[in-house]
Amino acid sequence: MLLRLERGDVDPGIPGQFFMLEAPGRLLPRPMSLCLAPPGELAFLIDPTGPGTRALCAARPGDEIHVLGPLGNGFDLDVPRPLLVGGGVGVAPFPYVSEQLGAPPAALGFRSAWHAEAAALVPNAEVVIDPVLVTDAMPSGHDVLACGPEPMLEAVRTLAPDAQLAWEAPMACGFGACFGCVVDVDGELKRLCIEGPILCASSTPAAASTR
Ligand SMILES: Cc1cc2nc3c(=O)[nH]c(=O)nc-3n(C[C@H](O)[C@H](O)[C@H](O)COP(=O)(O)OP(=O)(O)OC[C@H]3O[C@@H](n4cnc5c(N)ncnc54)[C@H](O)[C@@H]3O)c2cc1C
Ligand code: FES
pLDDT at 118 (0 to 100): 93
Pairwise CA distance, residues 71 & 174, whole Å: 7
Q: Looking at the CA of residue 176, tell me the nearest atom of ligand 2.
A: 3
Q: Kindly state if the Cβ of 171 falls inside 6 Å of ligand 2.
A: yes
Q: What are phi and psi of 30, to 5 degrees?
A: -125, 140
211 pLDDT band, cuts 50/70/90, is: very low
pLDDT at 157 (0 to 100): 94
Pairwise CA distance, residues 134 & 131, whole Å: 9
Pairwise CA distance, residues 14 & 93, whole Å: 10
pLDDT digits (tens, 9 = 90+) for 86-121: 999 999 999 999 999 999 999 999 999 999 999 999
Examine the pLDDT at 135 and tell me if it is beyond 90: yes
Examine the pLDDT at 210 and tell me if it is beyond 60: no
End-to-end Cα distance, the chain: 16
Could you say which ligand is closest to the alpha carbon of residue 173? 2
pLDDT digits (tens, 9 = 90+) for 147-176: 999 999 999 999 999 999 999 999 999 999
Q: Kindly state if the Cβ of 172 falls inside 6 Å of ligand 2.
A: yes
Q: What are phi and psi of 200, to 5 degrees?
A: -70, 145
pLDDT at 25 (0 to 100): 83
Examine the pLDDT at 206 and tell me if it is beyond 80: no
The stretch 22-48 carries a mean pLDDT of 94
pLDDT digits (tens, 9 = 90+) for 8-23: 999 999 999 999 999 9
- The pTM assigned to this predicted structure is 0.93
DSSP H or E run through 155: helix 150-159
Is residue 93 within 8 A of residue 99, CB to CB? The reply is no
Could you say which ligand is closest to the alpha carbon of residue 45? 1
Could you say which ligand is closest to the alpha carbon of residue 180? 2
Q: Kindly state if the Cβ of 128 falls inside 6 Å of ligand 2.
A: no
Q: Looking at the CA of residue 32, tell me the nearest atom of ligand 1.
A: 5
pLDDT at 207 (0 to 100): 46
CA of residue 175 to ligand 2 center, whole Å: 6
Pairwise CA distance, residues 1 & 146, whole Å: 21
Examine the pLDDT at 186 and tell me if it is beyond 50: yes
pLDDT digits (tens, 9 = 90+) for 46-79: 999 999 999 999 999 999 999 999 999 999 999 9
Amino acid identity at 137: A
Q: What are phi and psi of 13, to 5 degrees?
A: 75, -160
Pairwise CA distance, residues 150 & 117, whole Å: 22
DSSP H or E run through 108: strand 106-110
Examine the pLDDT at 84 and tell me if it is beyond 60: yes
